[in-house]
């Protein structure tokens, strides 16, 4: 009895308790509100492919950029104990670079798309290095350091393409941003899975997870154990840069255009929220990437639910704020410890014999 | 917050522009300054008409970019003008620059102000110096006597033009998804007004009315959520081209046809070239424009080719129908590339 | 029970549970008026938990507390204070950037207006009364640690406290400062204040305490009058073992200092914190750095490990020239370093025991060659067993372990790297007697196996017991090196005092 509850509240879900409860509540709420909310159907899109459709698909699909960014942000948060608020602006730069390269060639082939993506990655990683250097080498608070790029990033994006909203169109891009013929699952969703798997593999084949957590929890001790603290922090920003490039390119491919002003607008706050809802401490240290991914889906499910309820999108932000306050409060140490205590007391009342027997 | 940041940055950038600009124009300015009173009122000896343009920076929007290009091409040396320009989002910087132009002795001062207030003194000093003032794009809160004419857009006329077009399609019913721009912006208010009237009168049914704050991806989500709910709709009225594109992406994924021969009528605004090409291809139905082209009107007034019947001249708004649009229209009126 | 009427504080049948652990089980504690009462026990025995229950940081899961015979409920530190119970913690919890007077009155303003003048006057009175060598207008951060500690006590006293809890107040003080503190304690005692004194220093208990209560494994062992409980018996009660083990260590004491080859040698080594010094150590040798706090002993070994910015010197390891400028260089040359400040430089509190143990080994193995989970678990289990680390499981966050067990985890971390030379800076500070003995034994065992060990401790007798060579430091310079017959307390004192200082020139 005692063991079982322990495994649920400490071992089993642990950090993931809050995001999982949040998802469960949202699902429950929607089921009561409108049981058909989660129905998934197969339709034929305008290219004639059979594809999955429904709110659930919309949620998972539209959360893709957020999920990718949240993964990278988790790492930065863990290592540096602060957040990068320039991801939206950096994504606009990466997306603009992507479009710039695509438009510089003649026709768009798979190779040019790959080249454009790699270029976007390089550029985003360079900006990541810039942020990372300010944070890791010059020891500037992450929020302050990234405020610079946050402020000027979209202007840089503007310069890359000389303004307006350049468009690119190609079946390849549609394949990336929407559906690949023959595959009924939205490509961005597949990309999220791929990125998550890559993270998993990186954690498996390197010591990134252990080192990042050590640096985040106790930088001084990490240094004295031979860890290159500056390097780990820098690396976290570079990895976030890669995530930014992926997110930016997905965003561009979805619509075949880059609007430097609106691409992934305000995404930085949602990203940070996803990390927080995922049960990760914003002060750094221990983290779980999976929590942040779920966090991203929580945020998106909330948005889509509100849209489905025809809540005016100007009000959506307010409702979001309310739900988030509730989640964050539930996840706070105070409530958690109260709850744990309550559970313990209940058990002790139930099995007083064991307690005495143990003695 | 983001806007603030952009403003700050733009501000500093513009400062550097100004400094650069001053450097290049300081030599003529110093030679002019002594004789400016007599010179300004008479026709310039060199023959070139000196025009100072105070505008918002082209990075503000596609509209502004086209507007700035239009000014630069019409008031060119080929057309007999000597053009000085200043771009800023900040009113006080604009005021300083305008005063600077007056001191430099321009013949005409063209202003699209960042804010509607604070311009009295500058315009009065222009009057004293004999500099004639034209307002374009945006009105200013000053006495009419202080400027020659104002060539401005009427956003509500633009919306009305679009809604009238929609009514003229004689659809059996109008179930409209209305995707709004950033709430409170001039463009949003103008483009929403006419449609709201139709909703109120019951001629059209509002399926959903949501703001996507000019964000393409958000527009896609809004349309997706309507599709998922299974509600009927046959018109998408998006308040700019980007959001219309987002909406169309949602339609494409759901296998809903759109455009000239499609089930859903797609309407956008701004007339970006790429959007007009969608029209030409028959994928969209209508694109409206708040015309950024005011330079020719002003040039005609300056050169006396036209006279202003009223102080306030409403610029002609454009609306394109997919059935009638031509490649020439795209080349002439399309914004961007 | 006969002295009921003068009982100031009674805690009866106190229970406290933590997930998976019973931290206190049916513990009684009695404090009388005008008494200094030591609360003793190994780390993890429940001392801190009992204190925290008393001061409202934790809430007990059963039991009752009476103050002056009246039942009280203590649910928060505020409650404790209202009942006249004040606490001064080991770490100073005041604000170093405020003045002494401000620190004494901060958070106690009645109404929004701070009456600076009143405070200054009251502070001056109180400081004088208690004989604390500080002025009210002085910045607290400018005072010595001892004075800061005393200011904290003065603050407590002024809050009309009747029960004063001193939690390890002496661990960062030198002998003189300790004496001043003791005088203050005796003074308070004569005013009828009951003082609960938690410390690891046995001599201090005997110097100042009237009674001793011993806890072990969350249970009460007993309450004793100090004069009736000899030191050895106290230790035995704390560790719950006979004296056999204590004696057995005494027998290992015969250290062989047969000189083997030199493992590490530094010439003119200096860092941003340490002045140039020469130093070497042989394989299988245990040496020590001694000197007062701030004499530069920690800074010197940090320079050896590359923990601070190395500014000069030549270093040879195994006869080969090497460059050690950062910790990883030292680690690659087989050097391990257990830092002085366990919390700040040692443990990664939120990570599990397993992760903490493998950390240094993982760093040495390389970023791209992670130790597999099963391997890591095997290592962790092995060292938990070898070092007898008391932890609920290998996945328990190390921060929730007691100080001594945390130290063992860090020791395990370095042992796992199989160092040729291990530097231990204050490995026994703030940990219980039993663990201290275990660590001393371990050091000797390592040396037997050929590992060079540098052992630093504030307790000279501990160093005498383990080291075959002592390097004595004063004012950041090496002032002597003692071996063989010179290894005794008197000689060390003499060297520190500078009677025969070797290189005085720089002072």
B59 has a pLDDT exceeding 80? no
Q: Which residues of chain C have pLDDT under 70?
A: 1-5, 20, 43, 90-92, 107-116, 171-172, 239, 241-259, 293-294, 498-507
Percent over 70 (pLDDT), chain A:
92
When pLDDT is cut at 50, 70 and 90, the band that residue B292 belongs to is confident
- Contact between C22 and A218 using a beta-carbon 8 Å cutoff: no
Q: Which of A97-106, B114-123, C245-254, C383-392 has the lowest mean pLDDT?
A: C245-254
Classified as helix, coil or strand, C161 is coil
Distance from CA of A358 to the nearest CA of C (A): 9
Residue A159's contacts (CB-CB under 8 Å, 6 or more residues apart) are: none
Q: Which of A54-63, A243-252, C59-68 has the lowest mean pLDDT?
A: C59-68
- Contact between A210 and C355 using a beta-carbon 8 Å cutoff: yes
- The winner for highest mean pLDDT among A24-38, A73-87, B32-46, B101-115 is A73-87
A184, A52 contact by CB (below 8 A): yes
For residue A93, the model assigns a pLDDT of 96
More confident residue, B11 or B295: B295
For residue A349, the model assigns a pLDDT of 65
A341 has a pLDDT exceeding 50? yes
Query: What domains can you pick out in chain B, each with its CATH number?
Result: 2-147 (3.40.50.2300), 155-291+320-333 (3.40.50.2300)
Residue B290's contacts (CB-CB under 8 Å, 6 or more residues apart) are: B63, B153, B155, B158, B187, B190, B269, B270, B317
For residue B264, the model assigns a pLDDT of 96
Residue of A nearest to B257 (CA): A46
Chains that touch A (3 or more CB pairs under 8 A): B, C
Query: Average pLDDT in the B302-307 region?
Result: 85
Chain C residues whose CB is inside 8 A of the A358 CB are 22
Cα–Cα distance for residue pair B77/B50, rounded to 1 Å: 10
- Mean pLDDT taken over chain B: 84
- Contact between B9 and A261 using a beta-carbon 8 Å cutoff: no
Chain B residues whose CB is inside 8 A of the A154 CB are 2, 6
* ipTM of predicted assembly, 2 dp: 0.85
For residue C503, the model assigns a pLDDT of 44
Output the pTM of the full model: 0.77
- Helix (H) / strand (E) containing C440: helix C433-448
B16 has a pLDDT exceeding 60? no
Cα–Cα distance for residue pair A287/A243, rounded to 1 Å: 17
For residue C498, the model assigns a pLDDT of 62
DSSP secondary structure letter of residue A162: T
For residue A144, the model assigns a pLDDT of 94
For residue A353, the model assigns a pLDDT of 45
For residue C174, the model assigns a pLDDT of 73
Size of interface A-B (CB pairs under 8 A): 133
When pLDDT is cut at 50, 70 and 90, the band that residue A11 belongs to is very low
Q: Which of A251-265, B292-306, C14-28, C392-406 has the lowest mean pLDDT?
A: C14-28
Angle at C119 between CA C118 and CA C120, to 5 degrees: 95
| Inter-axis angle of helices A313-330 and A17-33, nearest 10 | 140
Query: What domains can you pick out in chain A, each with its CATH number?
Result: 2-316 (1.10.3470)
Can you list the positions of beta strands (E) in C240-348? 262-271, 277-282, 286-290, 310-317, 320-322, 335-338
Question: Which of A5, A200, A212, A225 to mutate to test binding with chain C, by most C CBs within 10 Å of its CB?
Answer: A225
B179 has a pLDDT exceeding 50? yes
For chain A, what's the residue count?
A: 359
More confident residue, B337 or B249: B249
For residue A13, the model assigns a pLDDT of 64
Q: Among C307, C301, C261, which Cα is nearest to C277's?
A: C301
- Contact between C348 and A206 using a beta-carbon 8 Å cutoff: no
- Contact between C359 and A225 using a beta-carbon 8 Å cutoff: yes
- Contact between B335 and A164 using a beta-carbon 8 Å cutoff: yes
- Contact between B217 and A251 using a beta-carbon 8 Å cutoff: yes
DSSP C71-110: EE---SHHHHHHTTEEEE-SS--S-TTSBHHHHHHTT--S
pLDDT digits over A225-240, tens only? Answer: 999 999 999 999 999 9
Chains that touch B (3 or more CB pairs under 8 A): A
For residue B209, the model assigns a pLDDT of 93
Look up residue A296 and give its two tokens.
């991203």
- Helix (H) / strand (E) containing A100: helix A87-104
B245 has a pLDDT exceeding 60? yes
Percent over 90 (pLDDT), chain B:
56
When pLDDT is cut at 50, 70 and 90, the band that residue B29 belongs to is very low
More confident residue, A74 or A257: A74
Chain A residues whose CB is inside 8 A of the B229 CB are 308
CA distances from C493 to B29, C245, C291, C499, C501 (A): 86, 29, 9, 9, 12
For residue B11, the model assigns a pLDDT of 45
Query: What domains can you pick out in chain C, each with its CATH number?
Result: 4-247 (3.40.50.300), 248-334+420-507 (3.40.50.300), 341-418 (no CATH)
Nearest CB to A262 within list B6, B13, B215:
B215
pLDDT digits over A163-208, tens only? Answer: 667 889 899 999 999 999 999 999 999 999 999 999 999 999 999 9
For residue A92, the model assigns a pLDDT of 96
Cα–Cα distance for residue pair C44/C217, rounded to 1 Å: 7
Q: Which of A344-348, B309-313, C208-212, C310-314 has the lowest mean pLDDT?
A: A344-348
- Contact between B216 and A257 using a beta-carbon 8 Å cutoff: yes
């Amino acid at each position: 009895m005692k063991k079982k509850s322990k495994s649920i509240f400490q071992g089993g879900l642990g950090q993931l308790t809050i995001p999982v409860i949040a998802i469960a509540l949202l699902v429950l709420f929607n089921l009561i509100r409108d049981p058909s909310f989660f129905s998934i159907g197969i339709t034929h899109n305008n290219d004639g492919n059979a594809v999955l459709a429904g709110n659930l698909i919309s949620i998972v699909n539209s959360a893709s950029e957020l999920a990718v960014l949240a993964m990278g942000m988790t790492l930065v948060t863990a290592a540096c104990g602060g957040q990068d608020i320039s991801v939206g602006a950096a994504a606009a730069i990466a997306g603009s670079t992507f479009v710039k390269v695509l438009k510089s060639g003649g026709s768009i082939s798979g190779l040019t798309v790959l080249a454009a993506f790699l270029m976007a990655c390089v550029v985003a990683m360079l900006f990541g290095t810039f942020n990372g250097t300010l944070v890791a080498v010059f020891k500037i608070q992450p929020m302050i350091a990234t405020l610079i790029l946050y402020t000027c990033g979209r202007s840089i994006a503007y310069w890359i393409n000389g303004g307006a909203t350049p468009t690119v169109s190609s079946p390849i891009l549609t394949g990336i941003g929407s559906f690949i013929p023959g595959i009924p699952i939205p490509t961005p969703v597949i990309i999220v899975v791929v990125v998550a798997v890559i993270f998993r593999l990186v954690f498996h084949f390197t010591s990134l997870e252990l080192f990042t957590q050590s640096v985040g929890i106790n930088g001084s001790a990490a240094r004295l154990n031979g860890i290159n603290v500056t390097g780990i922090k820098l690396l976290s920003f570079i990895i976030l840069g890669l995530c930014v490039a992926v997110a930016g390119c997905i965003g561009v491919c979805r619509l075949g255009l880059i609007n430097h002003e609106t691409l992934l607008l305000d995404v930085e706050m949602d990203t940070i929220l996803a990390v927080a809802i995922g049960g990760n401490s914003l002060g750094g240290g221990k983290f779980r990437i999976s929590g942040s991914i779920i966090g991203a889906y929580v945020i998106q499910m909330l948005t889509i639910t509100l849209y489905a309820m025809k809540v005016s999108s100007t009000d959506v932000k307010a409702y979001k704020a309310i739900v988030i306050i509730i989640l964050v409060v539930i996840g706070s140490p105070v409530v958690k410890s109260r709850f744990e205590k309550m559970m313990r007391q209940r058990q002790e009342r139930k099995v007083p014999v064991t307690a005495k027997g143990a003695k | 917050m983001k806007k603030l940041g952009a403003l700050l940055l733009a501000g500093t950038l513009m400062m550097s522009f100004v400094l650069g600009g001053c450097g290049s124009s300081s030599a003529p300015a110093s030679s002019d300054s002594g004789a400016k009173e007599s010179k300004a009122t008479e026709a310039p000896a060199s023959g070139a008409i000196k025009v100072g343009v105070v505008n918002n920076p082209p990075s503000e929007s596609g509209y502004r970019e086209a507007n700035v290009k239009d000014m630069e091409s019409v008031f060119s040396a080929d057309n007999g003008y000597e053009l000085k320009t200043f771009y800023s989002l900040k009113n006080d910087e604009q005021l300083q620059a305008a005063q600077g132009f007056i001191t430099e002795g321009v013949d005409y001062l063209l202003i699209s102000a960042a804010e509607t207030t604070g311009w009295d003194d500058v315009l009065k000093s222009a009057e004293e110096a004999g500099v004639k003032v034209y307002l374009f794009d945006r009105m200013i809160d000053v006495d009419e006597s202080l400027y020659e004419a104002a060539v401005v857009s009427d956003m509500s006329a633009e919306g009305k033009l679009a809604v009238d077009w929609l009514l003229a399609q004689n659809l059996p019913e109008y179930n409209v998804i209305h995707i709004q721009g950033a709430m409170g912006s001039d463009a949003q208010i103008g483009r929403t007004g006419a449609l709201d009237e139709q909703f109120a009168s019951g001629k059209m049914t509002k399926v959903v009315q949501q703001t996507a704050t000019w964000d393409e991806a958000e527009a896609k989500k809004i349309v997706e959520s309507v599709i998922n709910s299974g509600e009927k709709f046959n018109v998408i009225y998006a308040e700019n081209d980007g959001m219309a594109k987002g909406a169309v992406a949602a339609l494409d994924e759901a296998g809903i046809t759109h455009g000239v021969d499609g089930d859903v009528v797609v309407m956008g605004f701004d007339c970006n070239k790429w959007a007009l090409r969608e029209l030409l291809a028959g994928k969209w139905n209508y694109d409206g424009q708040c015309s950024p082209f005011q330079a020719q009107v002003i040039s005609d007034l300056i050169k006396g080719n036209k006279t202003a019947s009223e102080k306030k001249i409403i610029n002609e708004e454009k609306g394109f129908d997919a059935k009638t649009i031509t490649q020439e229209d795209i080349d002439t009126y399309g914004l961007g590339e | 029970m006969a002295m009921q009427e003068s009982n100031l504080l009674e805690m009866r049948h106190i229970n406290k549970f933590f997930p998976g652990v019973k931290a206190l089980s049916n513990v009684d504690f009695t404090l009388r008026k005008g008494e200094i009462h030591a609360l003793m026990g190994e780390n993890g025995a429940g001392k801190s938990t009992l204190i925290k229950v008393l001061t409202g940081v934790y809430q007990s899961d059963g039991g009752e507390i009476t103050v002056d015979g009246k039942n009280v409920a203590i649910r928060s530190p505020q409650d404790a204070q209202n009942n006249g119970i004040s606490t001064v913690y080991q770490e100073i919890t005041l604000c170093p950037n405020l003045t002494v007077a401000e620190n004494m009155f901060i958070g106690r303003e009645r109404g929004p207006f701070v009456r600076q003048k009143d405070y200054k006057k009251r502070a001056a009175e109180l400081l004088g009364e208690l004989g604390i060598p500080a002025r009210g207008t002085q910045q607290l951060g400018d005072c010595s640690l001892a004075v800061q500690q005393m200011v904290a006590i003065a603050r407590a006293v002024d809050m009309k406290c009747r029960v004063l809890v001193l939690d390890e107040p002496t661990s960062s003080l030198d002998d003189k400062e300790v004496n001043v503190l003791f005088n203050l304690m005796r003074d308070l005692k004569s005013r009828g204040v009951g003082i609960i004194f938690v410390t690891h220093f046995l001599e201090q208990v005997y110097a100042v305490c009237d009674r001793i209560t011993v806890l072990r494994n969350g249970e009460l062992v007993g309450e004793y009058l100090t004069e009736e409980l000899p030191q050895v018996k106290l230790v035995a009660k704390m560790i719950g073992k006979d004296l056999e083990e204590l004696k057995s260590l005494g027998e290992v004491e015969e250290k062989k200092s047969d000189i083997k080859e030199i493992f590490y040698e530094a010439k003119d080594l200096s860092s941003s914190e340490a002045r140039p010094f020469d130093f070497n150590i042989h394989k299988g040798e245990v040496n020590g750095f001694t000197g007062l706090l701030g004499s530069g002993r920690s800074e010197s070994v940090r320079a050896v490990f590359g923990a601070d910015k190395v500014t000069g010197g030549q270093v040879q390891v195994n006869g080969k020239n090497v460059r050690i400028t950062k910790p990883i260089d030292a680690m690659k040359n087989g050097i391990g370093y257990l830092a002085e400040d366990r919390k700040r430089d040692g443990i990664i509190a939120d990570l599990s025991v397993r992760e903490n143990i493998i950390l240094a080994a993982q760093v040495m193995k390389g970023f791209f060659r992670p130790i597999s989970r099963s391997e890591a678990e095997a290592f962790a289990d092995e060292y938990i067993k070898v070092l007898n680390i008391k932890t609920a499981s290998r996945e328990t966050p190390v921060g929730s372990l007691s100080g001594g067990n945390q130290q063992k985890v860090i020791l395990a971390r370095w042992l796992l790297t199989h160092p040729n030379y291990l530097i231990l800076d204050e490995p026994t500070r703030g940990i219980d007697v039993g663990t201290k003995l275990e660590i001393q034994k371990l050091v000797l065992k390592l040396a037997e196996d050929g590992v060079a060990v540098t052992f630093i401790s504030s307790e000279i007798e501990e160093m005498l017991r383990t080291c075959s060579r002592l390097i004595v430091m004063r004012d950041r310079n090496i002032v002597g090196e003692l071996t063989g017959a010179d290894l005794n307390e008197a000689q060390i004192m003499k060297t520190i005092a500078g009677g025969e200082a070797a290189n005085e020139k720089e002072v």
